[in-house]
């Protein structure tokens, strides 16, 4: 006897021979029969109720397995009763109605109950179609072939066929049996729904794409790191900038200063420092080279380019500026005094500038700036330096040295060229893959093209766009570096002190533009780094073990959001209190925004301000506020916000992570990344020469390709003529494997065990099936009692003649019982319990546990 599990696609073979019992037909099945989704989809609710009631009927199971010789009237009675129960409109109607089968029940039995969709629902339906476009119930039940067969049955005056007459038709060779046998042959072919095929292909594409993205992003990140190193050259630029800033800020004309950080407090002191120390830093170290040219060194190898410009902004916002050495006062000083005393000339220029413009000495001035350009030939760097002092109406001031370095040449080195070519190749490959998908989606209409622009495809295109824009901006920056004015500083015999005011201004303007483009390159590179990091999260979707962190955060997001309402309220209250109490004494709490920032830093463990305040021996702050308020605020804030609330937040996230990790261990679709990579490589080898999955997914977007909702090997080859039989079989096998794996995973995610179900009460099911089991196992019981009676009589004869002792009799009975059970279970040995009462037993109890030993739940039959 051959048995086929239609839903699972598994064929079970049993030895042909006498059938011991109908109730044991389920023994070779891995799980009870379930109506496929392509049968129940779009079905009328009334028909679906009847189907659900009768889906596990023994008659349908026998017909599906084409065991017509074992069908009896009890099977037909059971089917009729199940179909009639759900067809009753009045729940109080007499349940003992005649066992008859109507046309609707016969159509349901000859199609859906065997695992085949109704003819009116055999075509796939577009997702855009509404529920109203489904065929009405009369049209849905049109099955001309089944109607013709039903009309040839012995019908009564109401158009019904009795259970007894239907059983007789199935017992012999009849048109009904031939028709049902042909239907059973159709349902024995492994099949799945078109919707599941689409889901599987799209899921496989997304998962493989995510895995490929993961490895591609690793490579892209390494190349991107090298690009940042060779193109931006941040480390050497920072060293050059820091050297100049440190030199200017710590330089003093004498050992006692004046120094920038210690002696500048207002406009007057700034001018004093500028004359005494700043100009000495720029013009104080002169060196005459072998070519006889005088050069002024600033911080070692850095050479001043020509001159220093002073810029002043008065209280009304008017700006005045002057190049010191090119001023009339400086030129007059050099011509009358010493032609090589550039430091004296610069000081004379500042003094003349201050005398000629009274606003320069105004204590209400807004800003004073000293700016110059510097060239470092050994390091191949150009620097723009600005010493800026901002004065505020409150009497406070902001003193800062801005220095920006860039390469003095636009020449691209060999290693720089190699790294950039590798990066461009990666971006071109990514753009080609995305463009191919976008064009394919566009070819299938606006809906497919709109669905293409999901989050992760948008991230990919953002990465491509940012890479292109960054490379363009970097090229523009190199173009400005390659200007004639800046390249002239590298020529032999270049005299920086001979530059005119126009050339100095042009050089400084170009360095300002390069500075702006450099900031743009760094900002774009930062955004590009963010998109590359987001691509990692796209790659993490390839494996649940990598996705666990994101899943944990998402699962805890709801609780964390509600927690933050409480946390932020209390945190803001503490920050406001600190601002009100300590804002006049501690600069970190001087404004509400800075108070929020300082409170967050304190929460992270940075509270140097408290250590400094705690050292006050007077017990009071500068404003007269008692120190006890500082201690109380700090202790309460740390204990409540950090030790309680912050740890609660961590506990929420870790709880979600622990729950996700616990579920991860039970999931069937969570292999290690090494295992998944090996499977991916093996799958690529197995599917070599197959039609690409992306092509199948693109074609399946149209209903003209494979219009039927049921997918088989034959239908796949008909829909795709170029598909090999091996690929069609591979797809069907993969469908069943992935469907089984996804069902197991879904049960785990829903908190269910794979072997147990919470949708029904086992006692209720057992009580409903008990009459059918009794009727089905009657022939088996008669045969079993007859065999055991013969066996017991022979054993009693041998035992009475003294040929068998009691131990041998017990052993023989146990062996015989095991052989019987093994034969009834198709060659598989099952657990058994037996109880004999005397040599001629009239009461025998055998308990068979049917099902797979690996499963937790077993269907129990008592015979």
Tell me the three-class secondary structure of 660-672, residue by residue: HHHHHCCCCCCCC
Question: What is the phi/psi pair of residue 544, to 5°?
Answer: -60, -25
Here the tokens at position 562 are: 């509600």
Tens-place pLDDT, residues 28-69: 333 567 888 888 888 888 888 888 888 888 888 888 888 888
In DSSP terms, which residues pair with 100 in a beta bridge?
Answer: 162
Helix (H) or strand (E) holding 288: strand 286-288
Model confidence at 93: pLDDT above 80: no
Return the higher-pLDDT residue of 383 and 10: 383
pLDDT of residue 676: 86
pLDDT of residue 597: 92
What does the pLDDT average to over 594-618? 86
Helix axes 693-700, 414-442, angle to 10 degrees: 30
Model confidence at 483: pLDDT above 50: yes
**Residues 6 or more apart from 19 whose CB is under 8 A from it?**
1, 67, 69, 70
pLDDT of residue 20: 35
Find the Cα–Cα–Cα–Cα dihedral 718, 724, 730, 731, rounded to 10°.
-40
- CA distance linking residue 352 with residue 329, whole number of Å: 6
Model confidence at 842: pLDDT above 50: no
Closest CA to 671 of 554, 549, 552, 542: 542
What does the pLDDT average to over 128-133? 60
pLDDT of residue 435: 92
Closest CA to 67 of 177, 146, 168, 145: 177
Tens-place pLDDT, residues 302-311: 999 999 999 9
- Please tell me the pTM assigned to this model: 0.71
Here the tokens at position 68 are: 């017509």
Task: Point out the least confidently predicted range of 2-16, 106-120, 313-327, 341-355.
Answer: 2-16
Inter-CA distances, 679 with 198, 542, 684, 693, Å: 21, 13, 8, 16
Is residue 260 within 8 Å of residue 249, measured between CB atoms? yes
Say how many Å lie between the first and final Cα of the chain, rounded.
Answer: 22
Model confidence at 182: pLDDT above 70: yes
Inter-CA distances, 474 with 275, 303, 525, 860, Å: 39, 26, 10, 76
Rounded mean pLDDT of the chain? Answer: 81
Here the tokens at position 537 are: 């999260």
Closest CA to 795 of 814, 782, 821: 814
User: pLDDT over 90 for what percent of the chain?
Assistant: 28
Tens-place pLDDT, residues 536-589: 888 888 888 888 888 788 878 888 888 888 888 888 999 999 999 988 888 899
pLDDT of residue 520: 95
Closest CA to 135 of 146, 122, 121, 149: 121
Return the higher-pLDDT residue of 784 and 48: 48
Model confidence at 756: pLDDT above 50: no
């Amino acid at each position: 006897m051959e048995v086929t599990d239609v839903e699972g696609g598994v064929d079970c073979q049993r030895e042909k021979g006498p059938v011991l019992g109908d109730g044991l037909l389920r023994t070779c099945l891995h799980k009870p029969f379930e109506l496929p989704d392509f049968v129940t989809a779009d079905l009328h609710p009334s028909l679906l109720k009847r189907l659900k009631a009768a889906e596990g009927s023994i008659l349908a199971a026998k017909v599906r397995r084409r065991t017509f010789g074992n069908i009896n009237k009890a099977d037909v009675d059971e089917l009729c009763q199940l179909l009639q129960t759900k067809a009753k409109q009045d729940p109080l109607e007499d349940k003992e109605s005649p066992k008859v089968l109507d046309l609707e029940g016969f159509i349901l039995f000859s199609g859906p109950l065997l695992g085949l969709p109704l003819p009116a629902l055999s075509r796939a339906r577009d997702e855009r179609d509404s529920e109203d476009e489904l065929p009405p119930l009369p049209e849905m039940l049109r099955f001309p072939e089944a109607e013709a067969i039903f009309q040839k049955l012995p019908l009564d005056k109401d158009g019904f066929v009795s259970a007894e007459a239907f059983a007789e038709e199935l017992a012999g060779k009849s048109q009904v049996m031939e028709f049902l046998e042909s239907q059973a042959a159709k349902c024995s072919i492994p099949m799945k729904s078109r919707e599941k095929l689409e889901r599987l292909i799209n899921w496989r594409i997304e998962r493989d794409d995510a895995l490929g993205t993961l490895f591609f992003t690793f490579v892209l990140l390494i190349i991107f790191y090298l690009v940042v190193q060779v193109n931006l050259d941040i480390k050497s630029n920072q060293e050059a900038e820091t050297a100049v800033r440190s030199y200017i800020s710590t330089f003093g004309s004498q050992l006692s200063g004046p120094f920038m950080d210690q002696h500048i407090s207002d406009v007057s002191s700034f001018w004093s420092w500028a004359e005494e120390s700043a100009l000495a830093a720029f013009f104080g170290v002169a060196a005459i080279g072998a070519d006889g040219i005088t050069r002024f060194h600033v911080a070692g190898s850095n050479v001043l380019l020509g001159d220093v410009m002073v810029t002043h902004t008065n209280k009304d916002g008017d700006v005045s500026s002057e190049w010191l050495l090119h001023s009339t006062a400086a030129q007059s000083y050099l011509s009358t005094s010493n032609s090589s005393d550039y430091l004296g000339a610069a000081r004379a220029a500042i003094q003349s500038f201050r005398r000629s413009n009274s606003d320069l000495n105004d204590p209400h001035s807004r800003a004073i700036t000293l700016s110059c350009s510097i060239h470092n030939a050994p390091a191949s760097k150009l620097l723009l330096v600005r010493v800026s002092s901002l004065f505020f109406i409150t009497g406070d001031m902001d003193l800062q040295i801005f220095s920006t370095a860039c390469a003095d040449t636009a020449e691209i080195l060999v290693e720089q060229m190699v790294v950039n070519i590798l990066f461009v190749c990666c971006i071109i490959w990514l753009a080609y893959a995305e463009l191919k998908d976008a064009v394919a989606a566009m070819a299938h209409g606006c809906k497919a093209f709109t669905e293409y622009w999901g989050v992760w495809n948008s991230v990919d295109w953002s990465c491509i766009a940012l890479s292109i824009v960054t490379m363009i901006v970097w090229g523009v920056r190199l173009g400005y570096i390659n200007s004639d004015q800046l390249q002239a500083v590298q020529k032999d015999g270049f005299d920086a002190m001979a530059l005119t005011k126009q050339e100095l201004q042009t050089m400084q303007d170009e360095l300002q533009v390069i500075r702006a483009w450099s900031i743009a390159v760094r900002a774009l590179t930062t955004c590009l780094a963010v998109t590359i990091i987001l691509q990692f999260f796209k790659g993490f979707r390839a494996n649940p073990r990598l996705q666990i962190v994101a899943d944990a955060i998402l699962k805890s997001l709801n609780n964390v959001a509600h927690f933050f309402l409480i946390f932020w309220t209390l945190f803001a209250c503490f920050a406001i209190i600190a601002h009100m109490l300590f804002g006049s004494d501690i600069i970190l709490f001087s404004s509400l925004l800075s108070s929020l920032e300082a409170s967050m830093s304190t929460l992270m463990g940075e509270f140097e301000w408290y250590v400094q305040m705690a050292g006050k021996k007077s017990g009071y702050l500068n404003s007269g506020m008692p120190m006890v308020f500082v201690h109380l605020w700090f202790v309460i804030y740390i204990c409540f916000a950090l030790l309680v609330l912050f740890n609660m937040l961590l506990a929420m996230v870790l709880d979600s992570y622990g729950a996700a990790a616990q579920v991860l261990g039970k999931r069937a679709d969570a292999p290690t990344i090494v295992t998944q990579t090996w499977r991916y490589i093996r799958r690529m080898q197995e599917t070599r020469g197959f039609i690409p999955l992306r092509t199948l997914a693109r074609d399946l977007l149209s209903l003209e390709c494979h219009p039927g909702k049921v997918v088989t090997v034959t239908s796949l080859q008909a829909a795709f003529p170029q598909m090999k039989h091996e690929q069609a079989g591979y797809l069907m096998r993969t469908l069943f494997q992935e469907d089984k794996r996804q069902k197991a995973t879904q049960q785990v995610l829903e908190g269910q065990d794979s072997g147990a179900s919470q949708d029904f009460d086992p006692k209720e099911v057992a009580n409903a099936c008990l009459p059918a089991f009794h009727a089905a196992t009657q022939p088996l019981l008669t045969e079993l009692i007859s065999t055991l009676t013969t066996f017991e009589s022979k054993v009693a004869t041998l035992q009475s003649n003294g040929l068998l002792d009691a131990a041998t009799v017990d052993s023989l009975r146990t062996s015989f019982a095991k052989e019987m059970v093994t034969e009834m279970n198709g060659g598989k040995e099952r657990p058994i319990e037996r109880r004999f009462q005397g040599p001629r037993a009239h009461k025998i109890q055998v308990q068979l546990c049917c099902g797979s030993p690996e499963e937790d739940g077993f269907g129990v039959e008592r015979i």
